[in-house]
Amino acid sequence: MAERTALVTRRSFLKSSALAAGSLVVPRLALPAHGATDPWAEADAIVARIVVPGLPARDFNVKSYGAVADGTTDCTAAIAKAIAACNAAGGGRVVVPSGTFLTGAIHLKSNVNLYVAAGAVLRFSTDPKKYLPVVRTSWEANDCYNYSPLIYAYRQTNIAVTGPGTLDGQGAAWWVWVPKAIWDWKPGMPSQGADSRKLRAQGESGVPVEQRVYGGGHYLRPHFIEPYGCTNVLIEGVTIKNSPFWTLHPLFSRGVTIRNVSVQSYGPNDDGCDPECCTDVFIHDCHFNTKDDNIAIKSGRGADGLRRATPSKNIVIRNMRVSRGGGAIAIGSEESAGVSHVYVDGLTGDDARLSTAVLIKAQSHYGPGTVEHVYMRRFDLAGVLNGVITMTYYYGGVPEDGPYRPTFRDIHYSGFTCRGSRNVLNLHGFPDHPIGPAISLTGSTFTGVTGQAFVAENVTGLTRSSVTVNGKPG
């Protein structure tokens, strides 16, 4: 028999505050009855319509255009020539053969597959000048012009990065832009903090994107791979190491496939994959081992996200393996334009140093986005350090005093197994704007739970059934 948890009054030191005059409130819409359609059939339909680029069997070896595999010669221009020739010929593979090739920014063009062969290492320069001129991008979900991502494509069709080789971002050279603690910073040291705060303020005040120019003389680290506004994208097989910032960042793109990829990084904000304002995304059979979130779905921060009005939706994630990191699967915290129709089926967490399995996060200063129609099942976790499933409007401890009210509703979890955690559910809504309705947990087993099994503050419409905690019905 399902247990229904009624609206729970938040017991917190955070001071409750009513919505200020003029605050933006997202209206609650009527929800369809849960179970009216099969969500996993919907996921199959999304996967079936995604087009994986099929490119001509035509190779352009970067050595033929002047690239030298000595790890010290700058091969940026040679790789660019190979890409231009491949594109002009109607498409094919730009092949990076065995050896170590040093490069700056790589800009892909339509119908080009950057193929990194077995034994090949693309090692990216640590000189920021190699990522200029600036390009249109997004930084922590605010629009701007910044250093080029290490691999970038702007409004291209049928692009790919594939092969069994390695992409090394040499991220440690960029990570020093983020002091480990405020007391580590001294005047004159590079730091992204001032630039980050300025960009956020520009986003909220509506400064035109063309005036938000960073890059040289600034300290906003570049993404690793970013297809911006692209259609039919494939990233397959490669090992990606030591990202300066977010690793895989599809932005405003449609029809994205990421499969059999390994991401290994342990620096600040080195998320494994951040689909942002994307539609029809399929991520499967990958291994992510990062310091920050492994997968984090986003759709813009604050006023920028509202202006974009481009949600992330129709995202299917299957058969993943994650190790350390923040959330195995995260949504937010920048999700102002909304996130919907997310299907996660099959995830193994093989390291109990993972912070949490699911982290759906927002705050009152980041936007009013609605997260809904989310389904996750078949998680097998060695353990997590905190709550197995965390959903919070108080991300970062920020109280409810901002102008926005996010909404989480119609979110369903089933078939979870976790062998060690603090809590099972850790849910925190606002007193004036609860999480829910239609949040469910079914058919799951949790052992080694050391704290409260279920924390649900300001949540409505929570149900759970066939759940056991430490051997007892939950």
For residue 243 the two structure tokens come to 């990202």
String of DSSP letters for 307-341:
HH---EEEEEEEEEEE-SSSEEEEE-SSBTT-EEE
- The pLDDT of 127-135, averaged and rounded, is 98
CB neighbourhood size of 284 (10 A): 17
**pLDDT for res 183:** 46
Beta strands in 132-182, from DSSP E residues, in sequence order: 135-139, 142-146, 151-154, 157-162, 166-168
**Tokens found for residue 41:** 């059939």
Beta-bridged to residue 94, according to DSSP, are 60, 114
Tens of pLDDT, residues 183-192: 455 667 778 9
**Nearest to residue 77, comparing CAs of 65, 86, 89, 87?**
65
pLDDT tens-digit map of 276-301: 999 999 999 999 999 999 999 999 99
Rg over alpha carbons for the chain, rounded to the nearest Å, is 22
The 10 Å Cβ neighbour count of residue 109 is 19
Beta strands in 350-438 (DSSP E): 356-361, 370-381, 389-392, 407-408, 411-421, 425-428
Which of 404, 317, 391 is closest to 360 using CA atoms?
391
pLDDT attached to residue 186: 64
How confident is the model at residue 23, as a pLDDT?
30
Say whether pLDDT at 181 is over 60: no
- Given this model, what pLDDT does residue 355 score? 97
DSSP state of 183: G
**Residues 323-378: pLDDT tens digits?**
999 999 999 999 999 999 999 999 999 999 999 999 999 999 999 999 999 999 99
Q: Do the Cβ atoms of 454 and 441 come closer than 8 Å?
A: no
Q: What tens digit of pLDDT does each residue of 12-48 get?
A: 323 222 222 223 333 333 333 444 589 999 999 999 9
Please say if the pLDDT value at position 417 is more than 90. yes
Token look-up 């062998």 returns 419
Residue spans of the domains in the chain: they are: 1-30+326-474, 52-175+191-292
Evaluate if pTM is beyond 0.85: yes
If you search the block for the tokens 């609605």, which residue do you land on? 370
Of residues 55, 64, 63, 65, the one with CA closest to residue 92? 55
Cα dihedral across residues 343, 136, 65, 112: positive or negative: positive
Instruction: Please compute the mean of the pLDDT values over residues 138-162 and round it to a whole number.
Output: 98
Q: Per residue in 216-270, pLDDT tens?
A: 999 999 999 999 999 999 999 999 999 999 999 999 999 999 999 999 999 999 9
Q: 282, exposed or middle or buried, with CB in 10 Å at 0-12, 13-18, 19+? A: buried
- pLDDT for the residue numbered 32: 39
Instruction: Give the tokens for residue 341.
Output: 């129709």
**The CATH number fitting domain 52-175+191-292, selected from 3.30.450.40, 2.160.20.10, 3.40.630.30, 3.40.50.720:** 2.160.20.10
- Taking the C-alpha atoms of residue 326 and residue 348, their distance in angstroms, rounded to an integer, is 15
Instruction: List the single range of 135-139, 178-182, 277-281 with lowest mean pLDDT.
Output: 178-182
Q: Which of 335, 208, 224 is nearest to 288 (CA)?
A: 224
* pLDDT band for position 180 (cuts 50, 70, 90): low
Longest dimension (CA), the chain: 69
The pLDDT value given to residue 190: 79
The CA distance from 188 to 254, in Å, is: 42
- What pLDDT shows up at residue 3? 33
Beta bridge partners of 259: 236, 284
One DSSP character per residue, 17-42 reads -PPPTT---PPPPPPPPTTSS-HHHH
Whole-Å CA distances, 258 to 225, 262, 455: 12, 10, 35
Q: What is the pLDDT of residues 45-97, one digit of tens each?
A: 999 999 999 999 999 999 999 999 999 999 999 999 999 999 999 999 999 99
| β-bridge partners, 96 | 116
